[in-house]
Amino acid sequence: MSSATRKLSYSLAINEALHQAMAADPRVFLIGQGVKSPWYVGNTANGLLKRFGAERVIDTPVSENGVTGAAVGAALTGMRPVVVHPRMDFMLYGFDPIINQAANWHYMSGGTSSAPVVFWGIVNRGGEQAAQHSQALHSMFCHVPGLKVVAPSSPADAKGLMLASIFDDNPVVFVDDRWLYSTTDAVPEAMYQTPIGSGVVLRRGTDLTILCYSGMVPLALEAATLAGQEGVSCAIVDLRTLKPFDRELVLSSVGATGRVLVCDVGWKSGGWGAEIITTIVEAGVTLKTAPRRVALPDTPAGAARTLEKGYYPTATTILGVIREMNA
């Protein structure tokens, strides 16, 4: 590790991004539930209130629609708000300001104004969060013109994509996975941006391409290592951005291997995995086997740990599909 990088956890990488953005630009502010209580948002807000004050770190009542609307209004006046939803499920209350207002503002104004706001939604998979506190709703936002959707998997990309989202002139949905908060990696100390719309090849392979993002990435990497021990070479592509995703990288990797498996953190029906497979098929990529998906079953998440164990995919789940595709 060079002197310009050091190990940071995923949550502290986001925290560093917020510190750097707010120090660099007085228009940036954080608003949402629990931002004055660092543990509530997984240490991502550590030190922000003390450093920047209550005018720029605004802890709010439980009123998702009002808070989100206030952030959109601030963005329209020239500010760059980051509105955090500690449980992504309750972003549903903010659909009007997100979808009807922020996503359409640039178009409806004929390009004369925009809403540079980050809608930061945290997915709380597992931990007995149950059906109303664990839902990954990214596919809904991907359906809406005018919204960009990012979903990092590593601490370095969490920092870089948060900074890119803050300084993008469009509204961006930043999809966060609390399961990743304790993961650590080398993160550059300097302020930088990970390009929105750019994926990355994490592992090269010849037999199968696994397309994944967010919390599915470490599981896919583990499964690929196990598959390698059985003689199957898997390429791993971390999309990082779901909309717009890196179409050229996807088609190139899948075209080279002739097999594709999409690992999606959301539900299977109508999910992001279906969209990306359709793109591959429409592009006329020659496939050796039918494309496959690993995703959540079409049922709400149970609260009991025993139910969660059977509900959430694992590296073993992915490995089983890899074996079927290479049989």
> Residue 185, SS3?
strand
pTM (predicted TM-score): 0.96
Q: Find the helix or strand (DSSP H, E) in which 292 lies.
A: strand 292-296
Nearest-angstrom CA–CA distance, 199 and 213? 9
Q: Half-sphere exposure of residue 90, counting CA atoms within 13 Å on the CB side?
A: 16
Cβ neighbour number for residue 295 with a 10 Å cutoff: 21
pLDDT given at position 1: 42
- Which residues lie closer than 8 Å to 77 by C-beta, 6 or more apart? none
Indicate if 189 belongs to the active site: no
Long-range contacts of 183-186 (CB under 8 A, 24+ apart): 183/9, 183/10, 183/154, 183/155, 183/218, 184/7, 184/8, 184/9, 184/10, 184/155, 185/7, 185/8, 185/10, 185/13, 185/154, 185/155, 185/156, 186/1, 186/5, 186/6, 186/7, 186/156
Partner residues linked to 217 by β-bridges = none
DSSP β-ladder status, 260-267 and 208-212: parallel
Out of 85, 106, 133, 138, which one is annotated catalytic? 133
Q: Which residues contact 274 (CB under 8 A, 6 or more apart)?
A: 268, 293
Domains in the chain, CATH or no CATH each: 5-188 (3.40.50.970), 200-325 (3.40.50.920)
pLDDT (tens, 9 = 90+) of the chain, 327 residues, equals 455 999 999 999 999 999 999 999 999 999 999 898 767 888 899 999 999 999 999 999 999 999 999 999 999 999 999 999 999 999 999 999 999 999 999 999 999 999 999 999 999 887 888 898 899 999 999 999 999 999 999 999 999 999 999 999 999 999 999 999 999 999 999 999 999 999 999 999 999 999 999 999 999 999 999 999 999 999 999 999 999 999 999 999 999 999 999 999 999 999 999 999 999 999 999 999 999 999 999 999 999 999 999 999 999 999 999 999 998
- Secondary structure class of 131 (helix, strand, coil): coil
Find the catalytic residue in 64, 85, 138, 308. 64
**Residue 22, amino acid:** M
- pLDDT value at position 42? 85
- Let me know if 275 is a catalytic residue: no
**Using an 8 Å Cβ cutoff, are 198 and 250 in contact?**
no
> CA separation (Å) from 230 to 79, 208, 222, 270, 283?
53, 13, 13, 33, 31
Amino acid 3: pLDDT: 57
